[in-house]
Amino acid sequence: MGTYAVGFPLSVTCPAEEFFSSVDRVTDELITLEGCSRGLLDSTVSADRDACLAEFELTVAAGSPGEALDRALGFVRTAIHAAGDGTPGWEEFWSHIHDELRTRQITPALC
């Protein structure tokens, strides 16, 4: 089992005045997951309201880069749902991000 850093952006669809509170709720849920999951070691979220983007950086324990990506995406989706938000179109996003990130943004984390 290795430790991997996985980073990816997500579009946030909500009224501009709710953007930061929505991202904050998801961030809080990721912190909760860090405390109760053996696979999520660390998470960082940055937000750009003008671009309607949240950038997720997760450090996960996994057996391979592909598994690390699957775990990171699963943790973020779980946090979004726990925060009371939805993930419409997630399967399409999952397929696209999987193809894009599998080869370029998953790196062994330096611990």
Segments in the chain below pLDDT 50: 102-105, 111
**Which residue, chain included where needed, has tokens 């952006």?**
9
Token code pair at residue 79 = 């946090």
Per-residue pLDDT at 105: 47
Token code pair at residue 101 = 């990130």
- How many CB atoms sit inside 10 A of residue 66's CB? 14
Listed in sequence order, the residues at least 6 apart from 80 whose beta carbon sits closer than 8 Å to its beta carbon are 26, 29, 86, 87
Domain hosting residue 52, numbered range: 2-108
Beta strand residue intervals within 1-110, DSSP E? 2-11, 40-48, 53-62, 106-108
Question: How does pLDDT run across 78-89, given as a tens digit for each residue?
Answer: 999 999 988 888
Counted domains in the chain:
1
Check which CATH number belongs to the domain holding 87 and give it.
3.30.70.60
Per-residue pLDDT at 65: 84
Return d(Cα 36, Cα 15) in angstroms, integer. Answer: 31
Amino acid at site 57:
E
